[in-house]
Amino acid sequence: MSTNRFLWVQVRRGFLIGAAFCTLLALTAESVQAHGEDLSETSPSHSSPSSPSNLSSPEAAQLQAACWALTIPYGAAKMVYAIGGGIVGGFAWAVTGGNMAVAKSIWIPSMTGDYIVQPQHLTREKHLYFVGVSSEGPRS
């Protein structure tokens, strides 16, 4: 009888992990699609055999693989930073009696910025922002 219950617990745990994984994929797919729009907006004057927009070249494949490999630790660190900023911003909001300006001064820099590494970041065509820019504008 206990073996049957153990199997039922394992099946439920598997469904829970699968549902969490599918939710995570659905949420990150929207983020990747939003960032993917930036990738497809390259002008024809920049297309060269070594350009990352030419997906058939070995250099582009290596660049894509490097982006994927670097996005995993970078994205994890960025997520930890953003979640931490969300928590600290929430505490700051509560401690200051609901002052949204204080909370947003923590939330905006911690939650904005780049979450994935793109080929343009590796070729130095775009700057990679770990900490987002505040609402006042870019810092010097």
Q: Is 60 exceeded by the pLDDT of residue 124? A: yes
Stretch 78-100: mean pLDDT: 94
- Write down the pTM of the prediction: 0.57
CA 70 – CA 124 distance, rounded (Å): 15
Least confident of 7-16, 47-56, 111-120: 47-56
Q: What is the pLDDT at residue 60?
A: 85
Query: Per the structure block, which two tokens stand in for 123?
Result: 């070729």
Q: Is 90 exceeded by the pLDDT of residue 91? A: yes
Domain boundaries along the sequence of the chain:
1-32, 57-140
Q: What is the pLDDT at residue 40?
A: 47
Q: What is the pLDDT at residue 112?
A: 93
Which 3-state string (H, E, C) describes the chain?
CHHHHHHHHHHHHHHHHHHHHHHHHHHHHHHHHHHHHHHCCCCHHHCCCCCCCCCCCHHHHHHHHHHHHHHHHHHHHHHHHHHHHHHHHHHHHHHCCCCHHHHHHHHHHHHCCCCCCCHHHHCCCCCCCCCCCCCCCCCC
> Is the pLDDT higher at 30 or at 135?
135
Other residues' Cβ atoms within 10 Å of the Cβ of residue 29: 11
pLDDT band of residue 14 (cuts 50, 70, 90) is confident
pLDDT digits (tens, 9 = 90+) for 34-77: 555 454 444 444 444 444 455 568 888 888 999 999 999 999 99
Q: What is the pLDDT at residue 94?
A: 94
